[in-house]
Amino acid sequence: MSGSMEAQVLPDNEATPCCNAVTGELLGHSPLHTTEELKEAIAAGRQAQATWAALPVKERVRRMMPVREYMMANLDELAETVARDVGKTRIDALVSEIVPAMMALTYYCGKAKGFLKPRGMMPGNIFFANKWSKIHRVPFGVIGIISPWNYPFSIPFSEVVMGLLAGNAVVLKTASETQAVGLALKECLEAADLPKGLFSFINMPGRVAGDAFLESGVDKLFFTGSVPVGKILMAKAAETLTPVSLELGGNDAMLVCEDADLHRAVNGAVWAGLQNAGQSCGGVERIYVHAAVYEPFMKILKTKVEKLRVGYDRNHTTDVGAIATSRQLETVKRHVDDALAKGAVIYAQSKSPKDPMEGHFYPPTVLIEVTHDMLVMAEETFGPVLGVMKVASMDDAIILANDSDLGLTGSVWTKKGKKGAALARRIMAGAVTVNDHLMSHGLAETPWGGFKESGIGRSHGAIGFAEMTESQVVVRDVLPFVKKNLWWHPFSPRVYATIKGVAQALYAPTWKGRAKGLGKVLMGFPRMFMK
């Protein structure tokens, strides 16, 4: 990597400091942009987009593929940048951000032509057999993307790639807390052979970015973040009817059946709930375990959690890194304190790091005796905390899992595949896995998004790719020598009888009635050829 994040000193009102999330070390600065500069970026994107969209999809793909070569040559540096900016381990950065991003780029480059191919439609009725329709996917124009700090590379990367391959220009704003990653992502995209201005990176404070993007004229806005902010942006977008795609919070449930492989289930809970220090909107937060296996499950879980190594990642011997911000650490503490005050018990907890340095660390914690009136079960904690409840049946587990305003992901753990799939269908969430959790975000082919207040719209897969375009239908009459349709002017009793005959020919309850209707149609048919 060439290192676009220079350690130059800039006035506080002109740049965002980029710091190591654990040590606080100043790594550089990211220049701030004004609303006027955002408008200029959108205007430049709009000008470049027309040329880009006119290129064959195969050519767009060819120009995008060098990004993968650049990422492959800079894997270690990219993982290090993500780890420093967020406080996660480098293994977390590699497995949940960089490698899935490369897989996504490869997948969308391979599928873009098929996703964008016009699709013909069969006539829906014999009386319209001369009307042949075709669906085209049309790029919006300029796409705006506002991305979060917890997965600052992988979340925006896929959206940027899909947006560009679909023929759009893209303006990206990454979180203020993770500007170093944003600049690294910008460098990756600069390896592509893109028209000048087609992709822009903007650094603006989150409190003004949403309004600025919408007021500056983006054609669609993709936002990943909190529910309250998502609602504000949706209300703002309504003023101009700007379409939005919102991926918001999650409070995701894990259901452990009586026939589950307990070791796999525990290992899955530990990874999906505690990796990235629990800062995953699609991670495990609530666990409902069948009473028949509750005790052995908890015993294994206690052993695994207490062995987790928490701290600053130096030699790949750390399992759980830091909480990214002091504000998020306070949220985690508040949720745990609330639970303990209402009767919850800490069942298992890892050791705190030996040298916490200046980072915001919180030991992975398992709570029992939890109830749904506790914040840790009712809201998104976004930290390394697991609340576990014993249930008498999986029907009870389903009721509890769906007792939430959020519905992003969920999981079912059982040795019986059909049973797992049936239970998964009953969970009100956008992405549900059987015998796994969280990783579906890394599957480029699967759509990502939630039910209820977890958002609207989807990213990833064919459905997510379609979100980058508008559908346009072109209807062609294949009988151009016909002078008029049956229902065109001038009107007359004969026209009325002909149209009534169409209904009778199609839907009369008897064959005799249908034949009579067809006769009326044939009587009116000649007018189609009259000038």
Active site residues: 247, 281
CB 255 within 8 A of CB 401: yes
Q: Which residues contact 491 (CB under 8 A, 6 or more apart)?
A: none
Q: Parallel, antiparallel, or unpaired for β 15-19 and 244-247?
A: unpaired
First to last CA, the chain: 70
CB 310 within 8 A of CB 365: no
Q: How many CB atoms are closer than 10 A to CB 206?
A: 16
CB 367 within 8 A of CB 320: no
CB 177 within 8 A of CB 254: no
Beta bridge partners of 367: 346, 387
C-alpha span between 108 and 468 (Å, rounded): 12
C-alpha span between 308 and 273 (Å, rounded): 13
CA 21 to centroid of chain Cα atoms:
25
Amino acid at 519: G
* Per-residue CA distances from 74 to 1, 19, 68, 191 (Å): 6, 20, 10, 12
Amino acid at 479: L
Which uninterrupted H or E stretch holds 360? Answer: none
